[in-house]
Amino acid sequence: MPRLHKDKMRTDIMARIAQTISRSDSKATAETPDITERTAAGGETTRRRRPSPYPHWFLLPAAIIYTVLFLVPTATSFWYSMTRWDLKTATFIGFENFHQFFSEPFLVQGLVNTLIYAALTSAMKTVCGLGLAVLLTSDIVARGLLRAIVFFPVLVSTIGVGIAFTVMMHPTRGVFNVALASVGVAGPGWLTDPALALFSVALVDLWKGVGLATLIFIAGLSAISPDYYEAARIDGATRLQQFRRITLPLVRPATVTVVTLSLIGGLRSFDLIWAMTRGGPGFASDVIASVIYKQYQAGFYGLSTAGNVILFLLISVIILPLTVWFQRREVEQ
Amino acid sequence: MTRTRRATTGIIALALAGIIFVIPFVFIGLQAGKSRTEAAMLAFSLPKAWLFWDNFVAVVTARDYQLLLAFFNSSLITVLSVAALVVLSAMVGYVMQRRPSAVTGLAQIFLLVGLMMPPAVVPTIGLLQSIGLFKTMTGMILIQIAYNLSFSTMLYRAFIATIPRDLDEAARIDGAKPRQIFFRVILPLLKPVTVTNIVVQSIAIFNDFTGPLYYLPGRDNVTVQLTLYNFQSAYATQYNLLFMNILLVTIPPLIVFIFFNRQIVAGMTAGAVKG
Amino acid sequence: MSGVQLKNIRKSFGALEIIKGIDLEIAPGEFTVFVGPSGCGKSTLLRMIAGLEDVTSGALTIGGRDVTDREPSERGIAMVFQSYALYPHMTVAENIGFGLSLARRPKAEIDAKVNAAADALQLTHLLDRKPKALSGGQRQRVAIGRAIVRNPQVFLFDEPLSNLDASLRAQMRLEIADLHARLKTTMIYVTHDQVEAMTMADKIVVLNGGKIEQVGSPMALYDRPATPFVAGFIGSPRMNLYQGAFAERAGCRTYGIRPEHITLSETDGRWPGTVRHIERLGADALVYLDVEEAGPMVARSEGHAPVAIGQRLWASPIAGHEHRFEI
């Protein structure tokens, strides 16, 4: 008898494996591999292939627009970045543009600033976003209104925000420094001090962008079952322990999203910096994206495109390993 | 948490949020109501006399009604590109979700690149020039479609995964062609995510500054964000008009936000938190 | 009315073969049930007949016409899905008439056919509702209505009752049987529930691991199961099956005896054993024995049978109801 049962179990398991692969008995057929293509490619059968009900031509209109206006320029940028170019004729000059990028001090500063700006805004948005999200998921009055208030700046024109804050950061008459003066503090030159300008812009970026981070964290926190907190309380965990041992690990997917999104956004950042400082004073708040625009305006199209390629590579070098690392940690946990 | 504690935390949070997040908007509103000299003081104070309407008229009529033209252009770009985005990305998201194949796998990689990478601007300008679309509304609309396709497609793909395949199959048995399955069965079911898509992308495209800055320079096709940017340099001394302009640019997203808060939240967090 | 023929039908996903060569003849008007454990390939087989899955090799004919490479809509079939698959954005009338409207039939004809189907299924008062506003049983009937208006040569049912509760399931079982009696159309019905198979089928096809184990009428499968698998799958409670020394002494590789074919005695019999547990179901009682030479054995007795846990009993098979398998 046991042997029979074992045999039956084995066939059951085999069947279940087969089913998992075929997914045809279950309703989760979404991932079914494309059989028609496999068999046709394998040449096992001379059968006429029936057309798929999900034709590839559905992709075509979008693919044409996307390929012509995004993929082709991205691909050709690698070539143009190695040329001297006036939009008509491109002369190959090797890595000279890149060499310039890494040797001219004002271009190097743009590179360094980009990294500082991205790291800083990403870190601030993650920390503040999580803090706000914890506050805005706790049981307080006017929670909905507060969420709306924190989120609204995300939807407002970056240029408008930039101009408004530039005015408020005016060194003598600006709201910030007038307020500081009223308590006896001499306010700094927020945007006029070369040592401070980039950080002032980053602060405004935080003000405008923290709402999105908060929103993502709120979604992540809401997905954590209250059972864990109840169990932890029964185990005697303090609020701080609950935060560190339950909230932080379980909100990880949201953290990954916020860090990744804000890093990408920070590395590509242009609008706000351009509206507030134009990269100044001097080159103090220049980033790669503003250098790209300046070089384009100055007619150095090859150099401008080299900036683009550098930004492309920079994002790849930072985001890809980060994603892999995040995923590996995910698996380990 | 006790009731009083819950109330005090809320009130403190409200006060802080008020100072940090609302005051800049109040400042914009106050500045927009002031006279030219008063606004130049940049002070956070009530206007001596409310010149709201005068400033409004001045901004609208400035430079031969350029702002109206800008609103018209921005709206046209937004409406047309979002309409195209909805149909095209729904089709792509549908096939990508339903049919894993080499083609859709490649599409997935390309769309991820689009989600992360900055567009190569100068090569794009060169390309637009060569096909006669540089500085044209058509070119700008196509660019907005290309640049926002990834996000819309991801939204649709995630939503379509929740629509049972049985429906496609029932339609197939009922004799529907692939086109009919999509347009008569699937597309009507995408209404919630389509609303989200329209709202989120409209705001993004309406607020886009970099796109028009590079691909749509010049007076004729000026957009709202560009006017704002141009006013900043032209009206450096007329802060009242500048802030009236900011105020006008802020109102469309505010209205959309009030009516579509839920859809915006859904769109912004979609796919962000995977279990 | 048309029959269905499957000739050496195979299906593979990559290197993995799911359906391993099925030959089957379904007579016109027959109610055939595919039954088997989950993953046996029964749903895949049905979906291949429907045309929703490609056939890797083999031939499929419906009504004498080779439809192996035909689109689902060209096969003369209609299908009722487990989830019903009603279009959520259409009313009941639009759901039932969708196929006709795709075929661009005149509106009057669509209305007439929809009304006729609704009438037959008592759906007339629901025609303007959306599926969301219907009960499970009503949705089921709409799905059947959608199938009827196609006027198919073959009806296909994919576990249509598994989303219903027990009492509704019994009622719908009756309605489907009734539908078959009225329409006399060929029907193929997939289920994992052997009770549904036994009560509805003219012919049961037992599938296991992508192959047919046995084909026959319900009582033929009950009386003469060809393999231990069929023996264990058809009939409730399950047949007692034994291998090893016990089976060898009985002269076979696998020995089977159904609980209802065992008599119990306090004094003598073939196999001595001890009562471990008793389930009293009302009319019957199931007596779980530890039989010394065989191991666990279940016997069916009458509801008030005077047995107690720990009691020593003798179990004996009723002559002519023993099953001996050489596999």
Q: Is C178 on the interface with A (CB under 8 A)?
A: no
Cβ-nearest to C73 among B164, B167, B175: B175
Residue range(s) of every CATH 1.10.3720.10 domain in chain A = 101-332
Q: Is B83 on the interface with A (CB under 8 A)?
A: no
Residue to test with chain B: of A29, A163, A247, A297, most B Cβ within 10 A: A163
Q: What residues of C are in contact with residue B171 (Cβ under 8 Å)?
A: 87, 98
pLDDT tens-digit readout, C132-178: 999 988 999 999 999 999 899 999 999 999 888 888 888 889 989 99
pLDDT tens-digit readout, B171-202: 999 999 999 999 999 999 999 899 989 998 99
Q: Round the average pLDDT of chain B to a whole number and report it.
A: 89
Q: Is B79 on the interface with A (CB under 8 A)?
A: no
- CATH code linked to domain C246-325: 2.40.50.140
Domain spans of chain C, in order of start: 4-231, 246-325
C112 min Cα distance to partner chain B (Å): 18
Do C38 and A48 lie within an 8 Å CB cutoff?
no
Mean local confidence (pLDDT), A51-60: 93
ipTM of the complex: 0.90
**B68-233+254-269: CATH superfamily:** MetI-like (1.10.3720.10)
pLDDT classification of A333: cutoffs 50, 70, 90: low
Nearest Cα to Cα of residue A286 among A261, A269, A300: A269
Strand runs labelled E in chain C? 4-13, 16-26, 31-35, 57-62, 65-66, 77-80, 154-158, 186-191, 203-208, 211-216, 240-242, 254-257, 262-265, 271-280, 284-291, 295-302, 312-317, 323-325
C11 min Cα distance to partner chain B (Å): 19
C197's tokens: 């198979």
**A101-332: CATH superfamily:** MetI-like (1.10.3720.10)
pLDDT tens-digit readout, B210-237: 999 999 998 888 999 998 888 887 766 7
Domain spans of chain B, in order of start: 68-233+254-269
For chain C, positions 105-134, list CB contacts with chain A under 8 A. none
Cβ-nearest to A35 among C41, C54, C243: C54
Do A22 and C18 lie within an 8 Å CB cutoff?
yes
Tell which wins on pLDDT, B236 or A35. B236
Q: Do domains C4-231 and C246-325 have the same CATH topology?
A: no
Do A164 and B27 lie within an 8 Å CB cutoff?
yes
How much of chain B exceeds pLDDT 70, in percent?
Answer: 96
Instruction: Report the b/e string of C88-115 with b at 16+ CB within 10 A.
Output: ebbbbbbbbbbbbbbeebeeeebeebbb
Rg (CA), chain A: 27
> Helices H, strands E: what count in chain A?
17, 2
- CATH code linked to domain C4-231: 3.40.50.300
B87 min Cα distance to partner chain A (Å): 9
Any residues with CB less than 8 A from the CB of A288 and at least 6 apart, and which? A110, A111, A114, A267, A307, A310, A311, A314
| pLDDT on residue C163 | 84
Cβ-nearest to C99 among B164, B169, B175: B175
| pLDDT on residue A332 | 64
pLDDT tens-digit readout, A219-233: 999 989 989 999 998
